[in-house]
Amino acid sequence: MAGVSVGTVDRVLHNRPNISKFAREKVEKVLESINYQPNMYASALAYNKSYTFYLVVPQHESEAYWEEIEEGALKAAEVRRDFYVNVEIIYYDRFNSETFVKQVNHCLELNPDGVIVVPSQLDVTRTFTDKLHERNIPFVMLDSYMPDLQPLSFYGQDSLASGYFAAKMLMMIANNEKEILIVKQTKDGKVVSKQQENREMGFKTYMNDHFPHIKITDVNLPLETGKHRYADILEEFFTQNPQVHHCITFNSKAHIVGNFLLQTNRRNVQIMGYDMVGKNAECLKQGSISFLIAQHAYMQGYACVDTLFQAIVLKKKVSPINYMPIELLTKENVEFYRRTQL
């Protein structure tokens, strides 16, 4: 149709050099007239190349939020198995940045085609992502967004908005209270997740704007003491502060407090938390957890792998920022939550 050779058309389609402006314009005019769309799937299959993506996540207990991330990521690899896409998981201790450095260096040794990373502290994460940029290895950030590191894409909640929303929902049932408790799992007195810090900031912003007279109190559950001490810490606080009836945590461990409240028969206290994992759901049904905010961990894991697939295998542009839904679960609707829905 363009009156040129097959080789010339091929060079235009793949944007290769050594073609005259006149010939290129003739081919492009025909492509436009027939609304040509390349078959990216056929092209990718024709390369007959395998791809290995590495998912770098914190070591976790069973039923935790991260387990759902993994399930979603592995499902995406299964869906793309015809393209020889494989996902491998690398774990690090979220409370020990040295293990992050060790594991990501191991990841680099494996020459990944793409990486999904849950970041550690900004400085050690930057060292890793700088090396990924040097090697032109695309990476997606999960859970905590660090835009300065220039990831290919990000998946997770808007943490500030999520914390603000959490406060707004909690105060629908706690608006007559004089004090709200924030429960934190800490290492050296600090939470180790930027996402949790931002949620707390959003929460306190709402409280300062709308309920400045309500006192906000912190109770830390230090990892250094061991989990066997948590019940003692909580018992001491609630015994000394019977006026506190509502609390919140910004991680997926609301069930630690929820189970304590059930075991000590404190039916006039509830905690709000994050993530629809099994232990949380059970406390929600029994009434010790008031609300859960879900963020579709399974969907996040799936989408991260699929984004690398779209960008690396199919050479498509992908969305740089992808905020997940902020969904409120109660005992009345928790059974209808579709954990693995995409």
For the stretch 251-286, pLDDT in tens is: 999 999 999 999 999 999 999 999 988 899 999 999
pLDDT computed for residue 189 by the predictor: 86
Per the structure, the complete domain to which residue 21 belongs is given by 6-37
How far apart are alpha carbons 177 and 245 in whole angstroms?
A: 8
Residue with tokens 């943490």: 159
Evaluate whether residue 340 is within a structural domain.
Answer: no
**Domain match, 12 and 110 both:** no
**Domain match, 66 and 117 both:** yes
- What the block records as the tokens of 61 is 């207990």
**Domain match, 87 and 12 both:** no
How far apart are alpha carbons 276 and 282 in whole angstroms?
A: 10
Evaluate whether residue 15 is within a structural domain.
Answer: yes
**Domain match, 165 and 257 both:** yes
**Domain match, 167 and 290 both:** yes
CB 50 within 8 A of CB 42: no
**Domain match, 179 and 289 both:** yes
pTM here is: 0.83
What's the start-to-end Cα distance of the chain, in Å?
43
Residue 36: exposure state from Cβ atoms within 10 A (0-12, 13-18, ≥19): exposed
Bridge partners of 142, per DSSP, are 155
Count of other CB atoms within 10 angstroms of residue 20: 10
**Domain match, 138 and 257 both:** no
Please name the residues in contact with 87: beta carbons below 8 A apart, sequence gap of 6 or more.
Answer: 52, 53, 54, 55, 73, 74, 76, 77, 305
Q: Buried b / exposed e across 176-204, counting CB within 10 Å, b at 16+?
A: ebeebbbbbbbeeeebbbbbbbbbbebbe
Max Cα–Cα distance, the chain, nearest Å:
88
pLDDT computed for residue 190 by the predictor: 86
Structural domain count of the chain: 3
DSSP code of 11?
Answer: H
Q: With a cut of 70, which residues of the chain have pLDDT below it?
A: 38-47, 62-63
**Domain match, 107 and 96 both:** yes
Evaluate whether residue 246 is within a structural domain.
Answer: yes
**Domain match, 196 and 310 both:** no
How far apart are alpha carbons 66 and 113 in whole angstroms?
A: 22
**Domain match, 282 and 190 both:** yes
Residue spans of alpha helices (H) in the chain: 6-13, 21-33, 40-47, 65-79, 97-109, 122-134, 159-174, 194-210, 230-240, 254-263, 278-286, 297-308
Evaluate whether residue 210 is within a structural domain.
Answer: yes
Evaluate whether residue 341 is within a structural domain.
Answer: no
Evaluate whether residue 96 is within a structural domain.
Answer: yes
pLDDT computed for residue 151 by the predictor: 98
Evaluate whether residue 330 is within a structural domain.
Answer: no
Evaluate whether residue 42 is within a structural domain.
Answer: no
**Domain match, 251 and 177 both:** yes
At 186, which CATH number?
A: 3.40.50.2300
**Domain match, 281 and 221 both:** yes
